[in-house]
Each structure stands twice: as structure tokens, then as C-alpha cells.
Structure 1
Amino acid sequence: MKIKVLGSAAGGGLPQWNCNCSNCAAVRRGDPGITARTQSSLCVSENDSDWVLLNASPDILQQIRATPELQPARAPRDSGIVCALVMDAQIDHTAGLLLMRERATPLPLYATPSVWAELCEGFPIGPMLSHYCGLDYRTIPMDVRGFKVPELPHTRFIAVPLSSAAPPYSPNRHRPAPDDNIGLLIENESSGAVVFYAPGLGRIDSHVREAMTGADLLLIDGTFWQEDEMVRRGLSTKSATDMGHLPQSGSSGMIAALDSLPEIAGRAAGQRRKVLIHINNTNPILRDDSPERRELDRHGIEVAVDGMTFCV
């Protein structure tokens, strides 16, 4: 199974269109110590021809151009993307669906019932696309058995409910439902490898820790370094927690959580890869030469970049 990072940034990307924080400014002036990033998304394949899109960011067209595997050109109109799977109804994970409207047939879309309801009402992509290619909705079950996508017969996807924030336009914004935000366990039945993908994670509950403990590869929320990161920079009045994200630093932050994970049974020490993804443009870990990046290095934690590829 191959997993490619299409986009590694949080909403807005890097640089964000209207942001002049030090990171965004550095990218614009061509600083070699920092790399531009598009908004968070992955794709998964077993054969390099059929790809499941995990989240459809507003940067999907740029991401497809940068990923030749997604355009095999077998016909005048073609795509390697066989379906999309969205993990929440946030704009930065779903707006890209609108840019895929030229399909000749409805796009298969996997989503939980709460997310599908939002995509039909609060952010009505479903009704809008009904005037174009349409969406073929397929339910993501919230049970431990998971589900398979026909084109990836040896891969099982299992939804893991996450404590995070529903979109501002959601009636569940202040009373979240278990299926508003999910992580995904991606199990390869051929290799036995397990991947846990959770780009939006506000709290590590016991079932989330269990998912993290059993994974060979973690692609986990790296949005903020500090709880008050946006407030310190005068860019928001909201904390990381307010926005549904667990910061990396602090005694109860992501670094401490990753450090506390036990070794994988039957695997060599240090074999689990820990990769931060969905990184906000303000986060100092985006700089290759920052003290914060060196701290991550000491803990064996990587920082995702667009185009990063994993074979598991």
C-alpha cells in the first residue's frame, strides 16, 4: 500500500493568501529554510493506478498537477481518483469536491451520516454538484469492522471518532456528535501494516490512544505548537483547544503523548514513524532550522511536506 501526502498544511495553506506572519513572509521572499505547502489531503493506492482521495482540499487541482499518478491519461477524460473520503465537513477538507465537477459519472463519496448531512445543508456541496456530475454517497460506518473500497481490496478503513470541533455552520458546533470528526485506521491486509490518520485532533481519549498504539505509521494533528499561538501573534482570539486541536508543546501536548506510546508488539524499537500533518502557517516547526524543529528531531517526530510518500 502506498500513501502520498498531497497537502500537509492546515486551512489556508502556506503561505496563506492574506497572512504576513513570519512564516508566510519567508516563503514569499524565497527563504530556503521553509517550504510552501498546500492544504491537508492524502491519497492511498494498492497498485499506483487506483487512488482513494482522503479529504478534498481547495488546493486539489494544484495537488493533482504535482502528482502524475493521479492523471494516468488512459482516455480523453480520465483520473486515477476512484473515490473521495472526507473525515469532516470543514471547508478545507471538502471544497475541493466542487473542483471535480467535470466527471462524466457521479463521484463516489464516503462520509459519515453527520458529515453528509452538513454537505447537504450547512455547506450544500451535495445539492450543488447534483447540477454537474453529482455525488454517489456511501456511508462510513462507525464500528470496528470498518469498510473497504472495491478498488483497494486488501485495505480496510476503520473510523475512529475524534474530539475536535464541527464547522461553524454546523448545528453540532457546540454539541458534537461522535461522527462529526473522525480519524482513520488504514489497515493493509497484505503487509499487516496499520496507519492512523488524524489531521484534526483536540484530545487523546482512550480509544484514540489505542488506535495510536497499534499503528506503524502515525499521520497526526500538527496544527499548532502552542495553545495560545494565534492569540500571541494577534491573529485570533481563539486558542488551539477552541479550534479543536491539541498543540505539540506542554506537559499534556502531542509530543508528550507520542513519547508515552509503548513499542509495537513484535516490532523493533523505534520502528513506528510519527509524522505531524495539517500544520498551521504560524507554527514554527515549518522552519527547517527552528529550535522547535530540533526538539521534534530529538523526539523522533517528523514534519510532513507535500509529496511525501510512504510504502507500508
Structure 2
Amino acid sequence: MLRVVVLGAAAGGGVPQWNCGCPVCLMARTENPELRSTQASIAVSADGEHWYLINASPDLRQQLIATPQLHPREGQLRHSPISGVILTNGEIDAVAGLLSMREGSPFAIYAHPKVLSILKANSIFNVLSEKNVRRQPIAVNEAFEPDLPGGAPSGIEILPFEVSGKGAWYLEGKAHPGGNDGAGDTLGLRIADKASGKYFYFLAACAGVDDDLKSRLAGAPLIFFDGTVWRDDELIAAGLSTKTGQAMGHIAMSGNAGAIGSLASLDIGRKIFLHINNSNPALLHDSAERKMVEQAGWQIPADGTEIVL
């Protein structure tokens, strides 16, 4: 059995973003607090006792406080049910939360060598001593089973695969610590329970849907998929940025080549958007865009949503 908890569903900055007065952020601060969301991450477990984070968002401390499943065991002075963190990219959204896990509890970080090279190149991550926090490289299209504390198998099989995207924005115009060639900067994950065979897909960032991705996702019981923007020029039209969604490595929800249309015919059981930017009008419950999302069979989750497969 797989248990999944949505720790946060928002893109970088969360909802409301600290310096943003857009309609969604304004409503989230005032009459619609249910719109508030922390930055995208999920937790997954095969036994309900040991958990693995998929990405460590900057809001991780807040997310852990709000999630009883991830609290220390009662009666123990120091304990965490978190056995590991699997990173799908090197963006701030995915790695900054690691710094909130520096208090000495052992866990493992699983990431592509290109992402591990980013951590190694930034000395601030040395607060996570490698004596306590093992950094384990993972490879594209090679399944692995993360360890439980003590080295026992977790019962979870994770298959990383390459998806269309780009490297971390803060490395634009700079030499990548892991080299500028090859895959590894943007990964999708197939996460399965080895005992039951139940599985789901996680793609926090995806710039486009090709035939290979369609064949992977076809018939899946559950997917978490990049929902950053409703339309590609959304941030430009709102006066919030000069970048399109594609320029940031994110597919739009709508449009002929958008996520909703591209994945419509794949017989996916449950489709959930995450990494949703504060500019996205689909966050508003009474918006036309939200109605289109729901009519197409997609969901936008609240923080704390739990799913059992």
C-alpha cells in the first residue's frame, strides 16, 4: 500500500507570495484564506511509518508542523519518520528545505549527479554532514529502492526518467557545477509499492508532453503533474515577469499543446496539478479556468491532502 500526503501544491513563493498583490494573493490574504498553499512537495510511504519526501521545499518546516504523519514519535527526544529525500531538480523550490533538516537526524538524499553537484558546489549545504546525511546518486531510467534506517529495504521502487525542462534558473548564464550537457536537471518519477504493485507518477516540472511521456503515463492510476501556469504568456500578461512558462521550463495547463489537452486521451485514473503559480487563475474556485480544470477531470489539492493506493 502506498500512502501519499500533499505537503504543498504551490510554485515558488507559495500562495500568497510575500511581495505579490495579484488577485489570487490578495484574496488569499483576505476573504479566501483557503487559497493559501505552501510550495510543492509530497511525502510517500509504503508502511505508514517511514516516509520519503519528494523534493524539500522552502516551506518544509511549516509543512512538517502541519502534517501529523511526519511528527517525531511520542516519547522520543529526537526522532523523525523521514528516511530520505528524493530530488527531481536543483531549483530553490526543491532543495532549500534541506537546510531545515540540519539538526542531526540521519536521512539520505537521492538525486541525479548533476543536482548533487549543485549541493556540493554551495558550501551552505555542508550543514548537512555527510556522516549523517548520505548523498546517493541516482541515474535516469535506472530504478532504485531507497533504504530504511539501518539499511533495510523500504519496499518502494522509484524509477527516475528524463522530462523536457531546463536547469535551475539561478544557473542561467553560468557554468553548471555538473556540466551543461546531458540529462539530469529535470526528472519525473514513477513511484511504486513493490508488494502491491500500486504506482503513481510525479512530475513537478515539465516543459512539454512528447510521445514517450504519453506512453509512460497512459493508464496510470494517479499522476501529479506540473500546473505552473494556465497560459504560456500568463506572467507577461499580468505584468509579473518577462518570461513565458516555456522559458521557465513549464508547460501551460491550457492550449493545444498544454497539459490538459495533451494528456486527455490517456485513461489516467486521477490527475492532480501541483507547482501552481500564484498568477494562475485556476486557483480561484469560481473562475472559468477552474471550471475547465475540473470538467477535464483534474484536481487542485489542498495542503495536507492524503491519498492511499
- The TM-score, its normalising length taken from structure 1, stands at 0.90
Please give the alpha-carbon distance, in whole angstroms, between the structure 2 residues aligned to 1:74 and 1:108: 24
Please give the alpha-carbon distance, in whole angstroms, between the structure 1 residues aligned to 2:186 and 2:198: 24
Partner of 2:290: 293
1:143 maps to amino acid: N
Once the two structures are superposed, the pairs formed by residues 301-312 of structure 1 within 5 Å of their partners are 301-312=298-309
Q: Does 1:97 align with 2:98?
A: yes
Gaps of 5+ in 2: none
2:119 maps to amino acid: L
1:128 Cα offset (Å): 4.1
CA contact (8 A) 1:102 1:133 kept: no
Please give the alpha-carbon distance, in whole angstroms, between the structure 2 residues aligned to 1:190 and 1:287: 39
Once the two structures are superposed, the pairs formed by residues 28-47 of structure 1 within 5 Å of their partners are 28-31=29-32, 34-47=34-47
- Is the partner of 2:252 in helix, strand or coil? coil
Count of matched residue positions in the alignment of Structure 1 and Structure 2: 299
CA contact (8 A) 1:166 1:176 kept: no
Which residue, out of 229, 234, 237, partners 2:239?
234
Please give the alpha-carbon distance, in whole angstroms, between the structure 1 residues aligned to 2:82 and 2:167: 27
Please give the alpha-carbon distance, in whole angstroms, between the structure 1 residues aligned to 2:252 and 2:76: 45
* Structure-2 change in CA distance of 1:46 and 1:310 (3 Å): same
1:17 maps to amino acid: W
1:176 Cα offset (Å): 5.6
Which residue, out of 137, 140, 148, partners 1:139?
137
Please give the alpha-carbon distance, in whole angstroms, between the structure 2 residues aligned to 1:104 and 1:221: 31
Partner of 1:129: 128
* Structure-2 change in CA distance of 1:281 and 1:74 (3 Å): same
Please give the alpha-carbon distance, in whole angstroms, between the structure 1 residues aligned to 2:101 and 2:131: 8
Q: Does 1:211 align with 2:213?
A: no
* Structure-2 change in CA distance of 1:133 and 1:153 (3 Å): closer
Once the two structures are superposed, the pairs formed by residues 30-69 of structure 1 within 5 Å of their partners are 30-31=31-32, 34-69=34-69
- C-alpha RMSD of the superposition: 2.0
- Is the partner of 1:239 in helix, strand or coil? coil
* Structure-2 change in CA distance of 1:214 and 1:139 (3 Å): farther
Identity %: 35
1:169 Cα offset (Å): 3.5
1:237 Cα offset (Å): 0.3
- Is the partner of 2:139 in helix, strand or coil? coil
1:210 Cα offset (Å): 2.0
Which residue, out of 146, 150, 160, partners 1:149?
146
Please give the alpha-carbon distance, in whole angstroms, between the structure 2 residues aligned to 1:39 and 1:104: 23
